[in-house]
Structure formats: C-alpha cells, structure tokens
Amino acid sequence: MNNLSKIKRNSPMNWVRSIVLGLLCLAAHEAYSQTLEAKVDSILQDKFQAYATGAVFLVSQDGLPAYRKALGKANIELDVDMNPESVFKIGSMTKQFTAVAVLMLAENEELSLADDITQFIPDYPTHGESITIHQLLTHTSGIKNFTEMKSIMTIAQKDLSPKELIDFFKDEPMDFKPGEEFKYSNSSYVILGYIIELVSGMSYEDFIEKNIFQKLGMNDSRYATDREIVQNRAYGYQQTNEGYVNKRHISFNITYSAGSLMSTVDDLLKWQEALNSNKLLSPETTQLAFTNYELNNGEKIDYGYGWHLKSLNNMSVREHGGSIFGFKSMAVYIPERDIYVVGLTNCDCVSPTQIVRDIAVLAAESL
C-alpha cells in the first residue's frame, strides 16, 4: 500500500497537476496585481489631479515592486515630468536612519542606550543627567521641540553647528519629567545626531553615507543640499493664495539629523529590505527599533526607535512620515504580509500620509 502511494504521488499526472496549479496561482497573482494597479491609479488620479506638482509611489511585497509610478511635475517652471527615480527630501523619515545609526554604535559597545546625555555634552543643563539616549529615541525626554519655539525663524537660515543648534534650545524649560509623557521632539534627534558625531569621530552626514548608504547601495540617497547638482532632483514647492511658489529656504544644518536626508522610493525599498534581512544590525538589536516602549507608569507609547508602531485594518504596522518646506513623505510597512508602501511628494500642500495607508490596506487585500 505504501509503495502504491509513492507511485501515485510521483506519477506524471500529479506533476502536471502541480504545474497547472502553479500556473493558476501565478495567473491569480497577476490578476490581483492588475486590480491593485487600477485601484491605486484611481486613488492617485483623484488626489493629485488638482495639483500642478507631482509624486512617486511604490508598493512592494516580499521585496519586489508590485506598483511603481510617478505623476505630475518634478519641475513646474521647466515643465519637467516626475519620474520614478526622482530624488526627494524626506523630512522626518530621516529619524529612522538616525535611530539605526545610534543602534549600530550601541551594538559596537561605543555607547549605551542607558547613558545620560551629559556624558557626551557635559555643559548640558542639570536635568540632562536624568535624560537617557533611550528617552531621546522614544520622544519621552521632555526636551522642548525647538521647531515649535517662536524664535525658530531667527535661526532657520543660519548654518549653525550641531552644538550651536543644541545651545539654542537646551536652556528652555522641560515640557515634562523624562519618561512621563510621549511628545514628538526634533530636539531629541538633533542631540542624537551630535552624539553620533562625538562617538564616531565623523560628521553625521559622513557616518550615514559610509555606514548605511554605501553599504546598502543606496546610491541616490544623500544628505540634502540646495547647492550641489543632484541628478533627478524633484524641486520643492509651496502653495499660496496666489498660486505655487518655490519652497522657502531653510538651512539643512537646522533640520540636521531630525530631517535633512534625501532619497528615492527605490532606495527606501532597499532600506526596508536591509532592515528585514538584518544587514546593518543583529536581529536582536534590530528588534529594539520595533519594540513598543512604555512610559514610567507602564502606558504604551506606540513608538519604537524612529518608527510609529500602529494598527491598520487590524494589522500591525510600522510607519513614519516627514514634512519639510516643499516636500512630504510617508511609508508604511506591514510585517505579517511583508508589504511596504512609500509615497513622496514635492509640495507640502499635499500629504501622502492617508493615501499611503489606504494603498497599504488595498495591497493587503489584493496581493
């Protein structure tokens, strides 16, 4: 009886059935992909038809693009179409890279996440002794967000050093005691960038370029510049009552390690795949970035290190967006389905945040 079963399992007819089933599955996947493409096209056309600017969106599953398209204009004045390779400023998505850079130093035992900031910045006010790197990473430090200070425009166009930028806000009153609340703070990530420089002996820009971009082949990603030539640059715009204007100038020394990186949808997919495959960190250290941390009272904050940790349509997701004059960005990752969706726009008049979330839900239903 056992021999008969083996013959049946290995018969030519069963091989044919397997091939047919495989082809049917492939056809079904292709049909689902086409359905996804049509639905995403419809969403984007409805959203962006009112804008003269543009965007690029990418959807991937298992590391492979299932949707990748550009729409609108990369440069309104020269009438240049956007293309999928366009390079955008990604704003606060920069924080992911800053967080991973800190974890790389921690894994090499060059710092500890429990270190307080006065170990690196001795002249930081007394309350710095109770603020840890962990609290900087999780936005639970209590340090005032300097981009919300009324005096921010007095320095916005100045090329301050990291230490000068920290000196701008370090004497401000604390918003709360460390660990008592979650409040998004660009100041915390500026301090992290400076700590990266002090510990590594490299500028933040050089550290990210050498240890992340070059290592992962993210050849179209870089620290932002308005002066150097950037191939496939998408130009940033703002919308006023009179129409579109070129983005307001701000020094990238001000946004620094909290928001000064540029990238493409393709490079950001490489970034996501590197995180999945632990190319930069051990699995244990990588998981630290995606742990839902707690306040002193035990309340979850729905934030790890550089990522919001949320639920979308009953699925756990990791997400983060960014906004900087002339640009907005958003990316959502669904671990259980290995689906990644990223959208980049070149006008801060239109946000991709909800669009990316909606597309992520569609992708989970269609792929």
Q: Which pLDDT score is estimated for 20? A: 46
d(CA 85, CA 185): 31
Give bridge partners of residue 223 from the DSSP assignment: 261
Q: Which pLDDT score is estimated for 167? A: 97
Query: What dihedral angle (degrees, nearest 10) is formed by the CA atoms of 203, 207, 209, 211?
Result: 170
Mean pLDDT by 10 residues, the chain (367 residues): 43 52 45 78 93 97 97 97 98 98 98 97 89 98 97 96 98 96 98 98 98 98 96 97 94 98 98 98 98 98 98 97 97 98 96 97 93
Q: Which pLDDT score is estimated for 6? A: 42
| SS3 sequence of the chain | CHHHHHHHHCCHHHHHHHHHHHHHHHHHHHHHHHHHHHHHHHHHHHHHCCCCECEEEEEEECCEEEEEEEECEEECCCCEECCCCCEEECHHHHHHHHHHHHHHHHHCCCCCCCCEHHHCCCCCCHHHHHCEHHHHHCCCCCCCCHHHCHHHHHCCCCCCCHHHHHHHHCCCCCCCCCCCCCCCCHHHHHHHHHHHHHHHCCCHHHHHHHHHHHHHCCCCCEECCCCCCCCCECCCEEEECCEEEECCCCCHHHHHHHHCEEECHHHHHHHHHHHHCCCCCCHHHHHHHCCCCECCCCCECCECCCCEEEEECCEEEEEEEEEECCEEEEEEEECCCCEEEEEEECECCCCCHHHHHHHHHHHHHHC
- Name, in order, each residue with C-beta under 8 angstroms of 262's C-beta and a sequence gap of 6 or more: 87, 88, 89, 90, 221, 222, 223, 224, 225, 230
Q: Which pLDDT score is estimated for 19? A: 55
